[in-house]
Amino acid sequence: MIKLNPKIGQSDIEQEPTRKGYGLGVVDLGDADKNVVVLTADLAESTMVHEFQKKFPERFVECGVAEQNMMGAAAGLALYGKTAFVSSYAVFSPGRSWDQMRVSVCYSEANVKVAGAHTGVTVGPDGATHQALEDVAIMRVLPNLVVEVPCDSIEARKTVVALGKMKGPAYFRLGRSKTAVITTSETPFAVGKAEIFRDGSDVAIIASGPVLYNGLLAAIELEKEGISVMVVNNHTIKPIDSATIIEAAKKCGAVVTLEEHQTQAGCGSAVCEVLAMNYPVPVEMVGMPNTFGESGEPEQLIQKYGMGKDHIMEAVKKVLQRKK
């Protein structure tokens, strides 16, 4: 079995925001490769690229509050030969810069890596305008793009380093608030490879992002009730690891998808596409139920919009009933 944080399920588990992993990962890359450049649109500290800025000021580009130009300039830097990291909140970039991402980056196969920070309702008090819940949808539809959703800060750091070493466009999704550190430095990670974080045989939870932790909590609780739940970390949304998803569906015969994103067109939909075409099984989808968020504390919002441990347990039981 994969080595995860032994404190999973305990109240004293370490908490860190995934954006921290971005800040660390991009410094790792900057140390190793002088062609790595970082751009931001007036959000250096909140996207945590300020350490890179301090260490490599000559390779740090402050674009001001102008995300469309930032994306285009990143494409120019990349087409010239740089590896360009674009840092902003996902609602702004790629939210406002989707057209630039489509043509200047993806169509042109520019070596640009886009960090979408402050995703999900766990952004909290800033409210609905700043809670990106549609970014995976608008990203995974673009050809030539890799889409990653790391589940914790350690995985985020590995994601950034891996994407930085690959050629071509990529998007990765980050969170604002502190969330459980699920993995360890030894947990295997490869772009394009989903990992089974917990084995089980009755239902498979296929999840992406920090909310995966609630899936693990649900699985632990359900085991006490005699329900055996597999938990798959499907961190790569594109290109999706069909083989692991099909394997999970074959073993369990029922699936719950889990993400902190609109259930339409996100990770869950990507999983459903794989299942519908290869191995159809009953699916329940846990995620943002086709609505906007609001202000509040992250945990309050997770509870209100149905992405907590209890909601996931309900979904598992519901899909079990549908299983023949």
- List, by residue number, the catalytic residues: 67
Of 31 and 273, the one with the shorter C-beta distance to another protein is: 31
Asked if 63 touches another protein (CB under 8 A), the answer is yes
Under the binding rule (CB under 8 A), the answer on residue 33 touching another protein is no
Nearer to another protein, 78 or 270 (CB): 78
Gap between the Cα atoms of 158 and 305, Å rounded: 30
Who's near 45: CB < 8 A, 6+ residues apart?
Answer: none
Among 57-65, 146-154, 230-238, 290-298, the segment contacting another protein (CB under 8 A): 57-65
Contact 83, 160 (CB under 8 A): no
Q: Which residue has the tokens 């945990």?
A: 299
Q: Which of 2, 9, 13, 69 binds another protein (CB under 8 A)?
A: 69
Give the one residue of 58, 185, 225, 290 binding another protein; rule: CB under 8 A: 58
CA torsion sign for 215, 22, 131, 138 is negative
Given 26, 36, 43, 73, the residue binding another protein (CB under 8 A): 73
Is residue 109 close enough to count as binding another protein by CB under 8 A? yes
Please report whether residue 6 would count as binding another protein according to CB under 8 A.
Answer: no
Residues in the chain: 324
Interface with another protein (CB under 8 A), residue from 29, 36, 78, 207: 78
Q: Which residues does 302 contact at the CB level (< 8 Å), separation at least 6?
A: 121, 122, 211, 214, 260, 308
Does 196 bind another protein (CB under 8 A)? Our answer is: no
The CB-of-55 to another protein minimum distance in angstroms stands at 15
Paired with 93 in beta bridges are none
- In the region spanning residues 83 to 102, those forming contacts with another protein, defined by CB under 8 A, are 84, 99-100
Choose among 203, 154, 153: nearest CA to 19.
153
Q: Which stretch binds another protein (CB under 8 A): 9-17, 103-111, 175-183, 189-197?
A: 103-111
Among positions 13, 103, 220, 246, the unique one binding another protein when judged by CB under 8 A: 103
Nearest-angstrom CA–CA distance, 249 and 271: 10
Q: What residues are paired with 91 via a beta bridge?
A: none
State the SS3 of 84-116: EEEEEECCCCCCCCHHHHHHHHHHCCCCEEEEE
Cis peptide before 125 (omega within 30 of 0): no
Size of the site for another protein (CB under 8 A): 30
Give the bridge partners for 203, in sequence order: 229
Residue type, 93: S
Q: What is the DSSP letter of 211?
A: T
In sequence order, what are the residues at sequence separation of 6 or more whose Cβ sits closer than 8 angstroms to the Cβ of residue 68? 96, 97, 99, 100
Give CA 13 to chain center in angstroms: 20
Q: What part of residues 11-30 is at the interface with another protein (CB under 8 A)?
A: none
Contact segment (CB under 8 A) with another protein among 61-69, 119-127, 266-274, 296-304 equals 61-69
For 12, residues 6+ apart whose C-beta sits below 8 A from its C-beta are: none
Closer residue to another protein, CB minimum distance, 107 or 279: 107
Q: Does 204 bind another protein (CB under 8 A)?
A: no
Interface of this chain with another protein, residues 124 to 163, rule: CB under 8 A: none
What minimum distance in Å lies between the beta carbon of 34 and another protein? 9
Instruction: Give the residue with the Cβ less far from another protein, 111 or 183.
Output: 111
Nearer to another protein, 109 or 126 (CB): 109
What residues line the site for another protein (CB under 8 A)? 37, 58-59, 61, 63-64, 66, 68-82, 84, 99-100, 103-104, 107-109
